[in-house]
Amino acid sequence: MKLTFKEKMKNYLTTKRIIKISVILVAYILLAIFTTNNMYSLLRLTLFSAVPLALVAMGGLYSERSGVVNIALEGIMMFGAFIGILVLHNLQDKGIDGQHILFLALIIGGIAGMLFSVLHAFASITMKSNQTISGTALNMLALALAFFVGRALSAAGTEEITFRDSYRISEIPVLKHIPFLGDILFERIYLITLFGIVLFIIMALIAYKTKFGLRMRACGENPQAADAAGINVKRIRYIAVIISGLLAGIGGVLLIIPTTTSFKANVYGFGFLALAVLISGQWKPVRVLIFALFFGLLRSLANGIAFIEADLQNIPFLYNMIRALPKDVIEMLPYVVTLIVLGLTSVKSRAPKAAGEPYDQGKR
């Protein structure tokens, strides 16, 4: 039965959807009116940590939705960032165009993450070993490798890999005139951050709108049934874990380049934070994105609070409260709030049913 456009629209626009859309529209207009220039600076900073967080959480979504718990995200991020920044460090003075090097570093970081995640896939799918053990081992291994190899390669014997940060683009023509979004997304931005956002959307669509995505989610809920329907569970899981490695590796590079100018074998626990984002986002892309933005905002407060101090002075109560807080407390906030959010949302939390279980054909 073919539906006309009018009928399609009628089906789509339920009351719930209309309310949702109008709330989003009103919020958007309000934001566009009331956001000051200082706030835009803070929001851009937020993006620098929220995008990698969302991307790595999306990696976790792929892996866990296919049925493989991936605690190794932190280690994969670490490894991807290590290799990516190493590439950047070595190519920087070779006279190649900046943006090209940037994307090269990003892609090589992603490939490094993929390769590293194969170790996890092999252990947890082929070897049917405990996925938490394998993940923990890989986290430890990535940290040790980044330290050891980093120190062996550097002249000073430290694990620090430095790079010059000159990749920020001042503006993107036309697009920057979009109210609100244009100011955040298309001014004083890194192209790779935008790339990260696009990648997130593409991966979300693949997970939810394609045959592969459906099969993958089936493998995470009921692998026996998926197998009976002719799906190669092991293959799907391998692909999902490797995709998660790609995203985590890219996420690692994406985190380091905009936020610092040196990699010190540290990704600030973002792999773990991404797991928390994934759980509080209930393994669903839109919610994951919302929580990632939220945590990104908290994360960037420690450095970004200075931006909005002038604005905050209009609200003396809030201003005094924030001024009274030591910097350590503000830096601690994302972790504390994560715990609180998890405490509030986890009671009804429902992980993919088969996550964490090696696939056993003989089991029903």
Which residues of this protein are in contact with other proteins, per CB under 8 A?
Answer: 71, 119, 123, 127-130, 132-134, 136-138, 140-141, 143-145, 147-149, 151-152, 157, 269, 272, 275-276, 279, 326, 328-329, 331-332, 335-336, 338-339, 342-344, 346-347, 349, 358
C-alpha distances out from residue 354 to 5, 40, 63, 205, Å: 40, 42, 11, 22
Task: Say if CB 247 and CB 59 are below 8 A apart.
Answer: yes
Residues in the chain: 364
Query: From the CB of 278, what's the least distance to other proteins, in Å?
Result: 9
**CA pseudo-torsion sign 312, 314, 317, 320:** positive
Query: From the CB of 225, what's the least distance to other proteins, in Å?
Result: 22
Q: For residues 157 and 173, which CB has a smaller minimum distance to other proteins in the complex? A: 157
Q: For residues 62 and 270, which CB has a smaller minimum distance to other proteins in the complex? A: 270
Q: For residues 130 and 222, which CB has a smaller minimum distance to other proteins in the complex? A: 130
Q: For residues 46 and 338, which CB has a smaller minimum distance to other proteins in the complex? A: 338
Q: What are phi and psi of 127, to 5 degrees?
A: -85, -10
- How is residue 325 written in tokens? 């807080």
Task: Say if CB 264 and CB 159 are below 8 A apart.
Answer: yes
User: Of all helices (H) and strands (E), which one includes residue 75?
Assistant: helix 73-91
Query: From the CB of 85, what's the least distance to other proteins, in Å?
Result: 18
Query: From the CB of 335, what's the least distance to other proteins, in Å?
Result: 4
The whole-angstrom separation of Cα 65 and Cα 207 is 9
The whole-angstrom separation of Cα 25 and Cα 39 is 20
Contacts of 172 (CB under 8 A, 6+ apart): 186, 187, 189
The whole-angstrom separation of Cα 255 and Cα 264 is 13
Q: For residues 92 and 129, which CB has a smaller minimum distance to other proteins in the complex? A: 129
Q: For residues 134 and 193, which CB has a smaller minimum distance to other proteins in the complex? A: 134
Query: From the CB of 48, what's the least distance to other proteins, in Å?
Result: 19
The whole-angstrom separation of Cα 307 and Cα 315 is 15
Query: From the CB of 75, what's the least distance to other proteins, in Å?
Result: 9
Task: Say if CB 98 and CB 233 are below 8 A apart.
Answer: no
Query: From the CB of 126, what's the least distance to other proteins, in Å?
Result: 9
- How is residue 270 written in tokens? 């973002």
Q: For residues 102 and 292, which CB has a smaller minimum distance to other proteins in the complex? A: 292
